[in-house]
Structure 1
Amino acid sequence: MPSHVSDTGLLVLHAVRLGGMIEARAAAARFGLEPAPVTELLLDYESCGWVRRADFAGIGGWSLTELGRAENERQLAAELSSFGTRPIVADAHTAFLPLNARFQTAVTRWQVRPAPGDPLAVNDHTDFRWDDRVIDSLGSLGRRLAALCTGPAEAMARFDGYGGRYAAALARVERGERRWVDAVGQDSCHTVWFQFHEDLLATLGIARGSES
């Protein structure tokens, strides 16, 4: 059975939710949509009070308002009910939690390399064995993420792609582009991981930080 395909309006609002602050073209690319209709929808949503546009010093994009966040959550809940896919997403979330703890540890080890007298010393990436062990951990977690995404992606098309995006970021890390572990504003390992977590939370209506 093919994956359920989400409504375009939901996808646009959800792309803004996942992106935090995102340009229309990037929101369109997130789910393989055409940029022009996405721009029109964002302008409509601005009129509804669901999104706002901000620009400062050459940096800008669309973000959700509180009304928009509530509308996105309403749409997602209705979609889960309509598709009957809540158990699949809930199982994925349960399996994700221990992996998330391991991922947070790996990223911390990437950023911090304890030194004598300074347990919180910044990792200067001169200890290649240390970094290689972290990269190995990130690789293992990436494979588990890809496997974990299979169920939700087979049920709902919008969950597809996380594993491939994470693998692409990790490949750049392995080529020596260290910023692709945890950089913001690009599809780093951390960005992809964070967005998948946010996708699960938003879809299930769980507040971030309230998980046991």
Structure 2
Amino acid sequence: MLDPYQLTVHTLTLRQLGTASQLAEVTGQELADVEAGLEKAAADGAVVAAKDKYMISPAGRTLLDEVYPTAFGTFRSSPQIGEAMDAFETGVNKQVLALTTDWQTKEVGGERVPNDHGDADYDAAIVDKLARVHEKTARVLAPLSAEDPLVDRFLDRIGTALTRAEGGETDYVSGVRVDSVHTVWFQLHEHLLRLTGRERPE
């Protein structure tokens, strides 16, 4: 697995731009550890600082490309994890992408139009379907979460977003300014790809 410094740099591949506290929220690391990692990474040239926010640099990506094969060797050589990833890509990931499209648009008169979220029943049905896919995802990814607690953290954050969406905070389905289902799902997917050395499907 990654050491704390490497994990801090890795987090900037999941959240492309963020403050120390935002990065700590992604991984659950102590804020002081993230701040120390970012300070070292900035000095090393692995990250670029812009006021209080950070982004990964080409040198940081090179660093991760060099450490991933060793840090994640167990994941990349496991047939069970490979099967779980196949199930993730062909099943729940496609379902979440389709439901996100259904959330953002709806069919009216045979055409897709933007969803104005005026139909509460339509929206509630999609949130309910997302919740069922979330439960299934936990089962699909069990072989990975058994080895990496960060996978469960992503699933917990998705669950939190779903709870807020169920309470009427519709931005928590696909909003980009909050830790929505869609935003955290993207982070989860990117983390899984880096664990397993796979490319994001087109």
TM-score normalized by the length of structure 2: 0.88
Cα deviation per residue 1:23-44 (whole Å; 9 max; x = unaligned)?
A: 1122223333222232222122
Q: Write the letter of the residue equivalent to 1:85.
A: F
Specify the alignment match of 1:23 in structure 2: 19
| Structure 2 match to 1:85 | 75
Is 1:6–1:157's contact at 8 Å kept on the other side of the alignment? no
Query: What secondary structure is seen at the aligned counterpart in 2 of 1:63?
Result: strand
> CA separation in 2, counterparts of 1:67 and 1:140?
40
Q: Deviations over 1:156-210 (max 9, x none)?
A: 2332312211111111111111110011132211112111110111222223245
Q: Secondary structure at the match of 1:113?
A: strand
Note the C-alpha offset of 1:14.
1.5
Is residue 12–residue 27 contact of structure 1 (8 Å, CA) maintained in 2? yes
Q: CA deviation at 1:115?
A: 2.1
Contact kept? 2:75, 2:195, Cα under 8 Å: no
TM-score if structure 1 supplies the norm length? 0.84
Partner of 1:63: 55
| 1:99 equivalent among 84, 92, 97 | 92
Q: Give % identity.
A: 29
Candidates 165, 172, 188, aligned match of 2:180? 188
Name the CA distance, whole Å, in 1 between partners of 2:3 and 2:45: 20
Unaligned runs of 5+ in 2: none
Q: In the alignment, what sits opposite 1:143?
A: 135
Write the mapping of 1:122-161 to structure 2, written as runs, cut at 5 A: 122-161=114-153
Give the distance between the partners of 1:139 and 1:71, measured in 2 at CA: 37
Post-superposition Cα deviations, 1:65-118, rounded to whole Å, max 9, x if no partner, equal 22212322322221122xx2322543332111121111111001100012237x
Structure 1 counterpart of 2:71, one-letter code: E
Residue 121 (structure 2) pairs with residue 116 (structure 1): no
Give the aligned partner of residue 203 of structure 1.
195
State whether residues 149 and 163 of structure 1, in contact with CA within 8 Å, keep that contact through their aligned partners in structure 2: no
How many matched pairs?
A: 199
| Runs of 4+ displaced beyond 3 Å | none
Given that 1:45 and 1:51 are in contact with CA atoms closer than 8 Å, whether structure 2 keeps it comes out as yes
Give the whole-Å Cα distance in 2 for the aligned partners of 1:49 and 1:6. Answer: 19
Q: Which runs of 5+ in 1 are unaligned?
A: none
**Partners of 2:157 and 2:119 in 1: how far apart?**
27
Would the aligned equivalents of 1:146 and 1:164 in 2 still touch at CA under 8 Å? no
Partner of 1:173: 165
- Rounded to whole Å, the distance in 2 between the matches of 1:67 and 1:170 is 36
Q: Match for 2:105: what amino acid?
A: V
More deviation, 25-34/96-105: 25-34
Q: Give the whole-Å Cα distance in 2 for the aligned partners of 1:185 and 1:61.
A: 15
**What is the aligned counterpart of 2:154 among 159, 162, 167?**
162
Residues in 1 aligned to 2:193 and 2:156: alpha-carbon distance in whole angstroms:
21
Aligned to 1:48: 44
